[in-house]
A and B are shown apart, each in its own frame.
Chain A
């Protein structure tokens, strides 16, 4: 608590494996001490957030995808590897009410810059040149606008006729679900790629029902984004130094704050920046007082000054997790251990900070 109070610019980072209750306390602590709070959404799925916010795309639940979609598009993601239960529960291998023999009748289209385990299962695989997703997305939009003759024969390594064929498949579908991954959000173009996908879905909705799902990769990242959005109005990377929330990707994002050696203390909850952030960020974490609240000993533990072990979500701690479509799922614990949950640890820190600041609950 003293480390956080003494710091001029504390950073509170992580939150993707914490329950909603801990995330809420984290935002309150950041507001009290005037720190920067960021979650792992800003690094991995980050570009998806401004892309979605700008165009206000309305999604649906995964059950609706399971029951209604007959065309599924995976763009820049490999769910066989990253979300092993996804295809069997919600898409390719999931049986549903409105289509017999769903495995054979549901069309799977994969767009990626490399062959993946998912592309081996796809009915159509479109191999894009690395970093050229934006051009292919724009070409698809041109085709949906009925101006395919304007396109060259090859678009970033993709044959125009293949794109026209895929556009017809999507256009004639009953419901089409787009699943977009880090292959799209982390490659060249970043959030502009996501913006282009949302524009594409908007165009497609004139022909068929279309929905987009970012393939969030961390356990409870949707909740971290939602909680921060509800309190501050921004989904990630919020700076409370001015007394109100301030959000500017590239300035208040954790990677930039750490790489500029800006923060002088760091609280890490439910994440492992040692394994997910670039080297210059890890170097700064090793120089400043870093506190880690996590059930595991991981790469960040070697960079931390203090490590507080906590209970593992879903094993010996219970709370609420959010699925990637935004559906809340209550998680029970299996047994009672002696460790406190991260919410309990944060609550004690929060109360002490309130006392020292003279703030009444």
Chain B
């Protein structure tokens, strides 16, 4: 099912900015808000894991119910999970499309991967110091 993904700041995301490798930060920035009617149609409940995919790239996040999110849209706090799906095309402005990108949603039982694994998927190496 296709959705429009919106990203933005939240207080809990900003309060964990200095601990980006912590479970708390991972939990906050992988919380994807969805309208309860859409959740019912997809057969989802709070904390269920979903795959967001776009242009062959996918990322696993979990669902939270949010009545204020419009039907057909999703809200994900700005962070590595949201940015993993973004294109680099800036249309000559220097700014990628952070808002309202189309993503596909599917249900999964796979675990959410931590931030360092996302970076490892980009070619990075885990810093364990």
Q: Could you tell me the distance in whole angstroms from the C-beta of B15 to the nearest C-beta in chain A?
A: 9
Q: Could you tell me the distance in whole angstroms from the C-beta of B127 to the nearest C-beta in chain A?
A: 5
A-B contact count (CB 8 A): 168
Given contacts A191-B93, A297-B127, contact A279 B98 (CB under 8 A): no
Residues of B within 8 A of A182 (CB): 8, 98-99
Residues of B within 8 A of A280 (CB): 87-88
**Of A217, A279, A297, which one neighbours B9 at CB under 8 angstroms?**
A217
A277 near B: Cβ within 8 Å? Answer: yes
Is B96's CB under 8 angstroms from A298's CB?
A: no
B43 near A: Cβ within 8 Å? Answer: no
Residues of A within 8 A of B70 (CB): 114-115
B119 near A: Cβ within 8 Å? Answer: yes
Is A297's CB under 8 angstroms from B93's CB?
A: no
Is B86's CB under 8 angstroms from A302's CB?
A: no
- A71–B124 Cα distance when bound, in Å, is 49
- Closest A residue to B115 by CB, please name it: A299
A293 near B: Cβ within 8 Å? Answer: no
Q: Number of B residues whose C-beta is below 8 Å from A?
A: 50
Residues of A within 8 A of B94 (CB): 42-43, 46, 236-237, 249-250, 253-256
The proximity string for A residues 261-287 relative to B, scoring 1 for CB distances below 8 Å and 0 otherwise, is 000000000001011111111110111
Q: Number of A residues whose C-beta is below 8 Å from B?
A: 60
Is A131's CB under 8 angstroms from B100's CB?
A: yes
**Of A183, A236, A297, A300, which one neighbours B8 at CB under 8 angstroms?**
A183
B83 near A: Cβ within 8 Å? Answer: yes
Is A299's CB under 8 angstroms from B88's CB?
A: no
Given contacts A282-B122, A307-B127, contact A190 B93 (CB under 8 A): yes
Residues of B within 8 A of A113 (CB): 6, 99-100
- A301–B84 Cα distance when bound, in Å, is 16
Given contacts A81-B8, A81-B10, A250-B94, contact A279 B99 (CB under 8 A): no
Is A296's CB under 8 angstroms from B9's CB?
A: no
Residues of B within 8 A of A186 (CB): 95, 97-99
The proximity string for B residues 93-129 relative to A, scoring 1 for CB distances below 8 Å and 0 otherwise, is 1111111100000000000000110111011111101
Give the most central of A78, A279, A307: most B CB within 10 Å.
Answer: A279
Given known contacts A279-B88, A298-B21, A304-B127, what 10 new A-B pairs fall within 8 Å (CB)? A43-B96, A47-B95, A78-B9, A182-B8, A250-B91, A275-B80, A278-B88, A296-B19, A296-B20, A302-B116
Please name 26 pairs of A and B residues whose Cβ atoms are closer than 8 Å in the assembled complex, sorted by A: A47-B93, A81-B8, A81-B9, A113-B100, A114-B68, A130-B100, A131-B99, A182-B99, A183-B99, A186-B97, A188-B100, A253-B94, A254-B94, A255-B88, A255-B95, A258-B88, A259-B88, A275-B80, A276-B78, A277-B96, A282-B123, A286-B119, A287-B123, A299-B116, A299-B119, A303-B122
